[in-house]
Structure 1
Amino acid sequence: MGNSSSMLTQYDLEELQTHCQGIFSQREIVALYERFCALDRTGKGFILSDEFMAVPEFALNPLAERLLRTLEGVNFKEFITLLSAFSARASYEHKVEFIFRVYDSDRNGKVTMYDILEVLRDLSGSFLTDDQRKQVVIQALEEAGFSEDSALTYQDFLEVLNKAGLKMEVEVPVD
């Protein structure tokens, strides 16, 4: 898949639509491809972290550094897979899988209280003290039946989030 929307064939569009489980329409995939090509300043077919940081909405995100670890060297297929987690049409489990990857920064398949505290620190900045953050995390874990020493697997993580509720959506502009 080259560097312009004209390089996407009907076959590519159908394959990509299947790959993202029908979350994006073909029109949305073309719009995303055009955005991807604009971000891929090197024209190599993947987006580097500095290219992601050129997007103001991304650069201002308090989780930008953590997300970059998930995104470095993303090709278009991975790009739409990533964005599909933010769609209103994505399943709850699909969204939680993405969030789990963001929290699991060492990629060991488990999320610890330390991992959760790191994300909460990124999100809350100086609005909460370390002690306040720790109390929030301990309470959330205990309410879901886990202790502060627990290393949460994906299934455990899903259980904790089910207790808390989750909403994660963005609109994909197609104009």
Structure 2
Amino acid sequence: MGNSSSMLTQYDIEEVQEHCNHAFSQQEIVSLYNRFCQLDRSSGGFVSADEFMSVPEFAVNPLAQRLLRMVDGLNFKEFVAFLSAFSPRTTPRQKIEFIFKVYDLDCNGKATFDDILSILRDLTGSFMSEQQRQKVLAHVFEEAGYSPDSSLGLSDFIKIFGNSELKMEVEVPID
């Protein structure tokens, strides 16, 4: 499984299923493996940031640069674990944990007002002024019971998003 030119065994498939908490069926894992091999142009068993950027949908995502820090150098098992956040079989809590990792820019276990504001800049671009972004975010923080000086941890994200219906799903085409 380390070399992308090898074939997946039944054991490999079951190991990957276990690693991603059964977010994907065996057929989906085989399809994901085929896609992984296409992305791994160097056949090194890892997908680089440049290889991820070759996917048009990924490249145009306003959060692509932030996601790259999470995906650069993933092997197949890690690749599937990353994608599992987008599986319909993933729990809302697992999706929230993924979202938190995107917002925790410095990986210190906290998302600050400035961390979230930075992502809001990426998402809104020139459609909002800096003053509008700050005002909107301050209002969101206030509505959730926090101040702009607050640092939000994973438990805060769970509290805020816990009752939300998160639509983070991607269908895996079966080859």
Name the amino acid aligned to 1:73.
G
Name the amino acid aligned to 2:82.
L
Name the amino acid aligned to 2:140.
A
Correspondence list, 1:131-146, <5 A:
131-146=131-146
Query: 1:61 matched to which residue of 2?
Result: 61
Report the Cα distance in structure 1 between the residues aligned to 2:97 and 2:173, rounded to whole angstroms.
24
Report the Cα distance in structure 1 between the residues aligned to 2:92 and 2:163, rounded to whole angstroms.
13
Q: After TM superposition, give the deviation of residue 159 of structure 1 in Å.
A: 1.6
Query: 1:52 matched to which residue of 2?
Result: 52
Name the amino acid aligned to 2:55.
V
Correspondence list, 1:38-117, <5 A:
38-117=38-117
Q: Deviations over 1:10-66 (max 9, x none)?
A: 111111111111110000000000100110111111111000000000001000001
Query: 2:172 matched to which residue of 1?
Result: 172
Query: 2:12 matched to which residue of 1?
Result: 12
Q: TM-score, normalised by structure 1?
A: 0.95
Q: After TM superposition, give the deviation of residue 134 of structure 1 in Å.
A: 1.1
Q: Structure 2 regions of 5+ residues with no counterpart?
A: none
Correspondence list, 1:18-37, <5 A:
18-37=18-37
Equivalent position SS for 1:94:
helix
Q: Structure 1 regions of 5+ residues with no counterpart?
A: none
Q: After TM superposition, give the deviation of residue 161 of structure 1 in Å.
A: 2.3
Are 2:85 and 2:98, in contact at CA under 8 Å, matched by a contact in 1?
Answer: yes
Q: TM-score, normalised by structure 2?
A: 0.95
Count of residue correspondences: 174
Is the alpha carbon distance of 1:115 and 1:74 closer, same or farther for their aligned partners in structure 2, counting shifts above 3 Å? same
RMSD over aligned CA atoms reads 1.3
Report the Cα distance in structure 2 between the residues aligned to 1:167 and 1:43, rounded to whole angstroms.
33
Report the Cα distance in structure 2 between the residues aligned to 1:163 and 1:126, rounded to whole angstroms.
31
